[in-house]
Amino acid sequence: MEREPAALLSVLTDGNAVLNDHADDAGLCAVCGSAWPCDATRLAGAFR
Ligand SMILES: [Zn+2]
């Protein structure tokens, strides 16, 4: 899933901000709307 290349790039540079934005909202990512943890969250966690 690569709908937001810019967002994925920001994951590499500021993982904490991504984790703050891509919050768990009743099981869905507050930003992506996909099942949480979303791809961005998992990437940010991997690089933090
Ligand atoms: Zn997300």
Range of the domain at 24: 5-47
The whole model's pTM is what?
A: 0.63
The CA 48 to ligand 1 mean position distance, Å, reads 16
Instruction: Give the total number of structural domains in the chain.
Output: 1
Q: Which residue(s) pair with 35 in the sheet?
A: 28
45, 19 contact by CB (below 8 A): yes
- Between the CA atoms of 38, 17, 19 and 11, what dihedral angle is there, to the nearest 10 degrees? 40
Better-scored residue on pLDDT, 2 or 39: 39
pLDDT at 32: 95
pLDDT at 13: 62
| pLDDT, tens digit, 9 for 90 and up, residues 10-41 | 555 677 888 889 999 999 999 999 999 999 99
The CA 34 to ligand 1 mean position distance, Å, reads 7
The CA 46 to ligand 1 mean position distance, Å, reads 14
